[in-house]
Amino acid sequence: MVYASMPLMAALIGYVTKLVAIRMMFQPLEFVGKKPYLGWQGIVPRRAARMASIAVDTMTDRLISASEVMGRLDPERVVKEIEQPLLAGVEEIAREIAQEFQPGLWENLPDQVRRRIVRHIQAEAPGVVASLLETVKNDVDAVFDLKDMVVTNLVRDKALLNRIFQHAGRKEFQFIARSGIVFGFAIGLVQMFAWAALKNPWVMPIFGGLTGWFTDWLALKMIFNPKKPTRYLGIFEWQGLFLKRRREVAADYGDLIAREIITPKNVMEAVLRGPLSDRLFALVATQVRTVIDKQSGPARPLVMLAVGSGRYQAIKNSIAEKVIARLPETMTHIESYAEDAMDIRNTLVTKMQEMSEDEFEELIRPAFEQDEWILITVGAVLGFGVGELQVILVKYLSV
């Protein structure tokens, strides 16, 4: 019973230390304990900004660009999709502006005159939107920061960042846990002979620590190495598990990114509310003011004389502000079309499958690389502690 328990306990140590190490990679999302050292936060959430930055660098440098995302939108189709809310909004804005600058004016105008004004503005609105989109497409980097959008979403939602690594590497994590059983059992057999020869109680914790350390180290190596299929001893062939599953990982990764990160909603929100949104709004305001001046035509000097140049500018600015305020709601009407047009998932999957082994490794390697020594150390410490329990068990069985 004493000797039989050793490889079994070593297998248990290998398995349990792997499960704990994997959990400590992702949990807890926020620091628990007393900062800075007395406590723990999952490695991935703790390094959220850095890992998100590395992931998006890989994504934007090799997979997809801001110009590619926005370039697939057809201005004419976008105008068609938002035509109804756009035209409805024109009438409301006209009424609000008239009420703001001349209370009672809009209501007192003949119905025919009101309709003529609204139709006149409505006729210009689609052209303004199309022109604006063309301008954005020609210089998309001026109004849309794809990297900031992705990093912001991942840092804000650490659970989402966890899901990306867990989903892309789920089979690798299963392999790490299960490999602990096999490798632990093998080391336990060595431990059994060492105990038979030495009968030293230190054999248990030392071999427990060795089991936790070695099985973690070996499992991590086997996930990413070798990068190409390699035959060992002329008997069996092995390729890093993550690289061997390239096509499957590409499909899962592309689907998750397209479904939860680079979505039409997030793209529109980044354009309208992101760090470069002021440039877009300035562009919109310029377009709207130009249309107002154009509509005034020959009557513009008379209008300015009647209301004053300062008031005329205030009216133009107010119209521009109201148009801009309605943009987020209006743009929600193109999400369905944008999802099909952008085709983010298929783009990512296709390009990922064309990546080299080194490039593909960078998709999940950052989750391990910098802090993998922590995982290995945790495995060794846990293994040492379980080894102490083995000593107690052996004494009990011996009795």
Q: What is the tens place of the pLDDT at every residue in 256-273?
A: 888 888 888 888 777 767
How many residues can be counted in the chain?
399
How would residue 197 be classed by pLDDT, with cut points 50, 70 and 90? confident
At residue 205 the predicted structure's pLDDT band, cuts being 50, 70 and 90, is confident
Instruction: Label residue 308 by pLDDT band (50, 70, 90).
Output: very low
Q: Which residue has the higher pLDDT, 63 or 316?
A: 63
Question: Which pLDDT value is given to residue 310?
Answer: 55
Question: 16-30, 177-191, 299-313, 375-389: which has the minimum mean pLDDT?
Answer: 299-313
Whether pLDDT at 314 is above 70: no
Give the rounded percent of residues in the chain with a pLDDT score beyond 70: 73
Sign of the Cα torsion 367, 371, 375, 378 reads: negative
pTM: 0.66
* 3-class secondary structure per residue, 180-234: HHHHHHHHHHHHHHHHHHHCCCCHHHHHHHHHHHHHHHHHHHHHHCCCCCEEECC
**Is pLDDT at 389 greater than 80 in this prediction?**
no
Identify the DSSP state of 29.
S
The pLDDT tens digits of the residues spanning 216-232 come to: 788 778 888 888 888 88
| Mean pLDDT value of segment 304-330 | 58
Segment 16-41 shows an average pLDDT of 83
Rounded mean pLDDT of 5-34? 83
Average pLDDT, integer, range 29-40: 84
The pLDDT assigned to 305 comes to 41
Mean pLDDT of the chain: 75
Reported as a pLDDT band with limits 50, 70 and 90, residue 302 is very low
